[in-house]
């Protein structure tokens, strides 16, 4: 039997599909760019960042982390023709609220020795300073030999309380 969450996805999707008219869109993003942003539940990238269906790749992970996104970004650029990256972190991010040792303590407590072992040495990649984290990730992408200099990279902060997006770097 479907869970409540699964049943909600099925019901809402049936409404979406019944009005769906975008089946003709091509695989490569029409506007040739990729967005890297956080998985945070308070962010709707399409609406907040003005992305129309078919226009851009949207990569999301905990923190809007550039290193985590590298495999996806290389596929986006080298195989699917994008040439610009918007790296967008946000205010009130969960990654500002803990340190690696806190996460590993919680894992040890909740997942026991086997879980601890599976995640041993993992960098959860929290950050103590939002603007600096954006700047660092932009630097990382610009310095990476996997991202050619022809790719435009910008760094942004999205404010989850006002809905405002600010170009930082």
- 86 bridge partner residues: 35, 154
Q: Could you give the string, one character per residue 49-88, with x where binding to a second copy holds by CB under 8 A and - elsewhere?
A: xx--xxxxxxxxxx-----xx-xx-xxx-xxx---x-x--
Instruction: Give 84's contacts (C-beta < 8 A, 6+ positions apart).
Output: 32, 33, 34, 151, 152, 153
Q: What is the DSSP letter of 94?
A: G
Q: Considering the rule CB under 8 A, would residue 44 count as an interface residue with a second copy?
A: yes
With CB under 8 A as the contact rule, the residue among 30, 100, 129, 132 that binds a second copy is 30
Residue 136 assigned ligand-binding role: no
Q: How far apart are alpha carbons 122 and 126 in whole angstroms?
A: 11
- Sign of the Cα torsion 96, 101, 105, 110 reads positive
Q: What's the min distance (Å) between Cβ of 16 and a second copy?
A: 5
Residue 24 assigned ligand-binding role: no
Between 69 and 134, whose beta carbon lies closer to a second copy? 69
Annotated binding site for Zn(2+): 38, 40, 90, 93
């Amino acid at each position: 039997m479907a869970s409540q969450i699964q049943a909600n996805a099925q019901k809402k999707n049936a409404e979406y599909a019944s009005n769906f008219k975008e089946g003709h869109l091509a695989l490569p993003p029409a506007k040739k760019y990729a967005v890297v942003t956080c998985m945070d539940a308070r962010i709707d990238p399409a609406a907040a960042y003005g992305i129309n269906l078919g226009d851009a790749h949207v990569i999301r992970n905990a923190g809007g982390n550039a290193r985590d996104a590298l495999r996806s970004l290389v596929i986006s650029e080298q195989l699917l023709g994008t040439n610009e990256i918007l790296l967008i972190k946000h205010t009130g991010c969960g990654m500002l609220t803990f340190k690696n040792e806190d996460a590993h303590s919680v894992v040890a407590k909740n997942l026991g020795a086997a879980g601890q072992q599976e995640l041993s040495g993992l960098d959860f990649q929290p950050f103590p300073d939002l603007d600096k984290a954006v700047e660092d990730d932009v630097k990382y992408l610009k310095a990476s030999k996997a991202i050619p200099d022809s790719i435009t990279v910008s760094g942004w902060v999205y404010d989850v309380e006002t809905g405002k997006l600010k170009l930082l770097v």
